[in-house]
Amino acid sequence: MTYDAVSAYTVLFGDGEAPARVTVHGSADEAWGALDQLVRGRSRRWRSRPGTIDEDRVTELAERWRRADPGRRYWQVSPHRLRVTVPAIADQRTLRPA
């Protein structure tokens, strides 16, 4: 077996009322987009906008949302490197001649 590493990103979002939301994403853009949707879904003022996700803008909106009730509201985007096993499909010693 050989090993490889893959990237994953988790988004943690909660307000102390409902159970925390935890999602896993394959790219940073997907993770920040998910946080953007979660934050905008909790506010009538901030509507979703199609297009590219601006990490700084999402951070600003998430912090504004959190500051309204900092004792109960929280959010986090975390990167992870996961080690995965990659099975050997063909071994050089077992290749058949052409």
Angle between helices 55-67 and 28-41 (to 10 degrees): 40
Domain positions in the chain: 2-90
Q: In the predicted model, is pLDDT for residue 91 greater than 70?
A: no
Residue 15: CB atoms within 10 Å: 16
pLDDT in tens, 30-85: 999 999 999 988 876 666 666 788 999 999 999 999 999 999 999 999 999 999 88
Which pTM does this prediction carry?
A: 0.77
| pLDDT range class, residue 92, cuts 50, 70, 90 | low
